[in-house]
Structure 1
Amino acid sequence: MGVTGSGTSGTRFEVPNSSLADTVLERLTATYGATADPQRAVSMRAYMKDVAPFLGLTTPDRRVLSRTVLLATAAPEEADCTAVALRCWALPEREYHYFAVDYLRRHVRQLSSGFLPVTRHLVGTVSWWDTVDALAAHVVGGLVAADPKLKSDMDAWIEDDDLWVARTALLHQLRYKETTDTERLFAYCVRQSGHPDFFVRKAIGWCLREYAKTDPEAVRAFVAREQGRLAPLSVREALKNIGP
């Protein structure tokens, strides 16, 4: 079974055979579909700028339903995670994509460095902040932390023409705190400081603001040094909690 991404990578993935994924997807589509709210779906789609259709499930309801779907299912292996994620992403409604992100977050320790191309496909397909940011901080970040050799992939991602891939590179260290590679963090911010898109400029400020919780003086010094290159939005976000 093949899945071709509509994102910028153009990579084709074969969905692994997985009886676990068969069970999860059968339960998932039945459970989510039975509780869809078409009226709420209209407003949810509008809020997310028509990135995808919605079923109309609120986040609290969706999480309760997801627990029901996964009740008594086995712990997945990497192939199962790949199958669940790709099959969910092939469905049109956004809540299935959210389920996949949550599933990968829950089982990120089961994933090897070889899973990174799958995350690249997910980031670059039906892209918007609601899935990209969670994949960046909780899945890509976890993969890179577990295998530092993937830092070289992040060095390539920060150069990518796809703004969501570049945003992922910026945000992948969001939860690293004291283990943050500050040289890379600051270099990535400088590399994309002139980016014209709001979501990249915002990500620069966000990752700096988050690291400022760990080392505010380093962030102040960086912003002072690079203020001429950083966008005003990035500067405001970076210094929001610590001041100039």
Structure 2
Amino acid sequence: MNFIYSLEKAFNESADAVNAEAMSKYMKNNFPFFGIKTNERRFIFKKICLENQKETAENSREIALSLYSKKERELHYCALEILIKNLKKKYLKEDIKFIEKLIITHSWWDSVDVIAKFILGEYLLEFPLERGNVISRFSNSDNMWLNRSAILFQLSYKGKTDFDLLKTLCEKHGTSNEFFIQKSIGWALREYSKVNPIAVKNFVSISDLKNLSKREALKNL
């Protein structure tokens, strides 16, 4: 695909070994980087998207999967940005398999959180009848990143948040020793506290959550 070839070429030309080492270290050396900082990466990405608009619009899923199969983390970020831009209100019911694959592939907080909020969350707004089955399956999974995604998928819902569901998920995983689960619980509750602070305060006061989750939940209250 011309888009992927052009993107990789541009990223290779802009690569910075010093930045790459620092960025990889920040991500616990889980991924190699070209070493392109966010603003520059997005500038290059936007330019090449405009030059290949038809290709990216018509082949979003295929391009995203191809980019996600590569090793450099910046390409994974671009894959997610393509999906967010091109699939909103155009998801297919069967896309949940695709979304799950993204969550469990090259999993780390920086990708999983974007997928949970902007892709899984949007998908479940478009297919609300799928929510029960999907969230039940994700929250019961042995994969911690699917658990985290189930907790975080309502981050952008604001007043549309199903607080009863959120409380159930928080209680279900509330005693987890996983740092990323404790943080996700606190984050999800903190975000909902912008809509209903009293409800969050009351829930935290009677819940058996870990201290980290409680601190994160009440940080802005």
TM range (shorter): over 0.9
By relative contact order (CA 8 Å, sep 6+), the higher-ranking structure is 1
User: 1 CA distance for matches of 2:57 and 2:161?
Assistant: 29
Secondary structure at the aligned position of 1:107 is classed as helix
For 2:5, which of 11, 26, 36 is the aligned residue? 26
1:44 aligned onto 2:23:
yes
Secondary structure at the aligned position of 2:94 is classed as helix
For 1:120, which of 100, 114, 132 is the aligned residue? 100
TM (norm. structure 1) is 0.86
1:70 aligned onto 2:49:
yes
Tell me the CA shift for residue 147 of structure 1. Answer: 0.7
The code of the aligned residue for 2:162 comes to D
Does the CA-based 8 Å contact 2:182-2:212 persist in structure 1?
yes
Q: Paired residues, what number?
A: 217
The 5 A counterparts of 1:206-221 are 206-221=187-202
Aligned twin of 2:203: 222
Unaligned runs of 5+ in 2: none
1:180 aligned onto 2:161:
yes
TM (norm. structure 2) is 0.95
- Which stretch of structure 1 is more off in the superposition, 106-115 or 200-209? 106-115
1:168 aligned onto 2:157:
no
1:98 aligned onto 2:108:
no
The code of the aligned residue for 1:125 comes to T
% same residue: 34
User: 2 CA distance for matches of 1:105 and 1:51?
Assistant: 24
User: 1 CA distance for matches of 2:86 and 2:202?
Assistant: 37
User: 2 CA distance for matches of 1:27 and 1:111?
Assistant: 26
User: 2 CA distance for matches of 1:66 and 1:111?
Assistant: 23
Tell me the CA shift for residue 23 of structure 1. Answer: 2.4
1:194 aligned onto 2:194:
no
Tell me the CA shift for residue 108 of structure 1. Answer: 3.0
Tell me the CA shift for residue 113 of structure 1. Answer: 2.5
In angstroms, what is the RMSD of aligned CA positions?
A: 1.1
